[in-house]
Structure 1
Amino acid sequence: MSNVSGIFQKMGERFDSDAASGVDEIFQFDIDDEMWCATIADGTCDISETEHDDPSVTLTMDEETLANVMSGELDGMQAFMEGKIKASGNMMLATQLTAIFPA
C-alpha cells in the first residue's frame, strides 16, 4: 500500500458527516500522478483510486503536501498561496476540506 492510499484511508476514517451535511460534490485529487476521487453526498463519503469524468474541484499536489495538510501541520490555504497546491473548478470547495476531514 502506498503512503498516498494510507492517507486517503485515514481521511475516510476521519470523515465528518455533520460537516458534510448538504454537500454533494466530487473532489478529485492528483497526487504525484495518482488520481483519487472523494465523492461526498447525503452525509456519506466514498474515496477511491480513480479519475472522475466531471469533478466539482480538482486539487493537484505532491504526497508530502497532502500528508502535511491532512495532518494539520500545513494550512491548506497557505499551501495554495505558496503554489504547493493547484486547484481547478470550484475552488471554494477546497476550503471545506479541513472541516469535512478534520485532523
Structure 2
Amino acid sequence: MSVNVPGYKSSPYFEQLKTNIEANPESYIKKAKGTYEFHIKNKDDKEQTWTIELKDKGAVTAEASKSKPDIVLTLTDDVFVDLVDGKLNGQKAFMQGKLKVKGNVMLATKLDGVLKAAKAKL
C-alpha cells in the first residue's frame, strides 16, 4: 500500500522510508524501538497522518497508529522536509515551536538516524 499522499512534499520521504524499512526492518527496529506518529500540515492547511512502526514489525503507513503511539510529532510539511534534509535540527525546531512532541521525547533523538536514511536515497 502506497504512503504517497498528493499535496505533501513529505510524501516521497515517507515512500523512501517505507522502502528502506521493508527491506531491512530489523535494522530500523534496533535503531528506533518505538511507534512514531506524524501529524503534518501542508501549505493548504490540510493535515495528514503518517505512522512509522518500529516496535515489532517495521512498517510505514499513511494513517494514524492502530495502537497508542509512543511519540506524536506535529509539524508542517516544510519543517519535516528541512529536518530530513538536515537543514534544520530537531532540537532547534522544537525550541522554536516548529515541532510539537507528545509522548516519549527520548525516542525523538533515535528518529534522526531513521530520517537520514530517507534523505540518503532521494
TM class by shorter-chain length?
0.7 to 0.9
Q: Which of 25, 30, 33 pairs up with 2:34?
A: 25
Partner residue of 2:97?
Answer: 83
Q: Equivalent residue for 2:111?
A: 97
- The aligned counterpart of 1:38 is 52
CA–CA distance in structure 1, aligned partners of residues 63 and 100 of structure 2: 19
Amino acid at match of 2:63: T
Task: Give the aligned residue type for 1:30.
Answer: H
Distance (whole Å) between structure 1 residues aligned to residue 112 and residue 18 of structure 2: 13
1:5 aligns with one of 8, 11, 17: 11
Aligned-partner residue type, residue 6 of structure 1? P
More helix by share: 2
Match in the other structure for 2:86: 72
Runs of 4+ in 1 over 6 A off after TM superposition: none
- Aligned pairs, how many? 102
TM-score, scaled to structure 1? 0.83
SS of alignment partner, residue 50 of structure 1: coil
Structure 2 gaps of 5+ residues are: 1-5, 42-46
**Local SS of the residue matching 1:77:** helix
SS in structure 1 opposite 2:58?
strand
Please say which structure displays the higher CA radius of gyration.
Answer: 2
- How far residue 99 of structure 1 moved from its aligned partner, in angstroms, is 1.6
